[in-house]
Amino acid sequence: MLLRHTTTEIKERKALTVNPAKTCQPIGAMYAALGVHGCLPHSHGSQGCYAYHRSTLTRHYKEPVMAATSAFTEGASVFGGQANLVQAIDNIFKVYEPEVIAVHTTCLSETIGDDIPQIVNKANADGKIPTGKYVIHCNTPSYVGSHVTGFSNMAKAMVDYFAEKNGHKSKAINLIPGFVEPADMAEIKRMATVMGVESIMFPDTSNVLNGPLTGKFKMYPEGGVTVDQLKLTGAGAGTIALGELGAGAAARALDAKCKVPCKVLNLPIGLHDTDIFIDTLRRMAGVNVPDAITLERGQLVDAISDYHQYLYGKRVALVGDPDQLLALARFLVALDMKPVYIVTGSPAGKKYAAALKETVSEAAPDAKIKVPGDMFLFHQWIKQEPVDLIIGNTYAKYIARDEDIPLVRHGFPIMDRMGHSYFSTFGYRGALRLLEKMLEALLDRKDRDSTDIDFELVL
């Protein structure tokens, strides 16, 4: 029992987090920056932070994650990192030739109080930023928020730096996806294309962190939103932000800056939230829902009705990022499952916690929800009263193993399985995949636990 020190008895804790259900802000900012074509993320802090952020992303995506660092040593830690950042900007543009450098801060540079716009202005005045190239930034102090906050901050920075009014209105809809998989971003774009909707997605890590192996190293992969597209977002017909925590701030900033009306929706996970996404896209773009989308929806409804009996009443424990949990919980409730324990490590606020509670109130009136909480408490709840299924990232596997409960991996990070980068859980097709994964886990357990007498060929 690797987690044998987890006690069943729960004691009130205020200042201590054990086994946190989140990672740090710069990881989200770095991930978002990779969703801009030709962009090199830059970590303004020490090399240790930067190595951790890159390795966490690399372990999850199994792709080399390119980034740079200000490489703080003792001097920068005491006197500030201006000299390091100006030198870094000069080196990066000369050696790696990106279109954009996206700077995010770390705990150390935030504690020092480095003023990034002032430093970038100095670099510009010193002639370190070539014409037509850009340095953008966001602040990501990791003692507040989580990787989701960092993603949100960098997505908003894209609006702050690039979106502009050009006197025209285009038909394009801006799609802001929150901290989700490259495969999810690709699926959102695919649905928009099938609907006949012109769209600009930002950030867009599809074909960046799930790209092909070609035998040739490419510092800047094919994918990612371009700077020209980012500028055009200010002329869009509307914006759909998917996930309040990951995408809401960027959508509202675009509305405030360029008067592009926005809708902030749940992530399109499961039947109902995909319905809402499709309907919002239809209304905003003034198109009809094509038969191809109706077919996908019908297939999902058919699969749900075929397998509902194996899902009905199953107790599920969910741990992960807030936007994912809200949509997942809604899907589970629609399947007549019971999301009884829900924990996110991200401080998502009271309004979010209330929305989550409301979502599960009928299906699981006694559900235990902690926002923000940790996986130690999550484990304690499971010890007190077990569940049939856990849905969470790779760290949840220790709990699943100790308590002998099936685990469906979902969220960030997943470091011990493949598939998340390539197979989306968004839209009707993604919901089918989620359904398949949950059924695999539950029915494999049923087969394993069956006696010779009740072991069935046909389920």
Supply the minimum distance, in Å, between the C-beta of residue 83 and ligand SF4. Answer: 20
Contact 93, 40 (CB under 8 A): no
CB nearer to ligand SF4: pick between 223 and 372: 372
As a three-state string, the secondary structure of 321-389 is CHHHHHHHHHHHHHCCCEEEEEEECCCCCHHHHHHHHHHHCCCCCCCEEECCCEHHHHHHHHHHCCCCE
Contact 183, 65 (CB under 8 A): no
Helix (H) or strand (E) holding 30: helix 25-33
- List own/partner pairs for 51-60 with CB under 8 A and 24 or more apart: 52/24, 53/24, 53/26, 53/27, 54/30, 56/23, 56/27, 56/413, 57/27, 57/30, 57/31, 57/209, 59/413, 59/415, 60/412, 60/413, 60/414, 60/415, 60/420
CA distances from 433 to 80, 341, 437 (A): 49, 22, 6
Contact between 52 and ligand SF4 by CB under 6 A: the answer reads yes
Supply the minimum distance, in Å, between the C-beta of residue 144 and ligand SF4. Answer: 10
Q: How many residues bind ligand SF4 (CB under 6 A)?
A: 7
- Interaction pattern, residues 104-143, with ligand SF4; x per rule: CB under 6 A: --xx----------------------------------x-
CB nearer to ligand SF4: pick between 49 and 195: 49
Three-state secondary structure call for residue 136: strand
CB nearer to ligand SF4: pick between 20 and 38: 20
Contact between 347 and ligand SF4 by CB under 6 A: the answer reads no
Contact between 310 and ligand SF4 by CB under 6 A: the answer reads no
Please provide the size of the chain in residues. Answer: 459
Kindly tell me which residue out of 32, 33, 36, 49 binds ligand SF4, with binding defined by CB under 6 A: 49
Supply the minimum distance, in Å, between the C-beta of residue 78 and ligand SF4. Answer: 17
Helix (H) or strand (E) holding 395: none
CB nearer to ligand SF4: pick between 147 and 330: 147
* Ranges within 68-107 binding ligand SF4 (CB under 6 A): 106-107
- Cα torsion 138, 142, 145, 151: sign: positive
CA distance 367 to 343: 11
CA distance 242 to 119: 33
Supply the minimum distance, in Å, between the C-beta of residue 23 and ligand SF4. Answer: 8
Supply the minimum distance, in Å, between the C-beta of residue 404 and ligand SF4. Answer: 33
CB nearer to ligand SF4: pick between 106 and 274: 106
Supply the minimum distance, in Å, between the C-beta of residue 328 and ligand SF4. Answer: 26
Supply the minimum distance, in Å, between the C-beta of residue 107 and ligand SF4. Answer: 3
* Ranges within 2-41 binding ligand SF4 (CB under 6 A): 24, 26
Three-state secondary structure call for residue 88: helix
- Interaction pattern, residues 178-197, with ligand SF4; x per rule: CB under 6 A: --------------------
Amino acid, single-letter form, for residue 90: D
Supply the minimum distance, in Å, between the C-beta of residue 25 and ligand SF4. Answer: 7
Three-state secondary structure call for residue 217: coil
Rule CB under 6 A: which residues touch ligand SF4? 24, 26, 49, 52, 106-107, 142
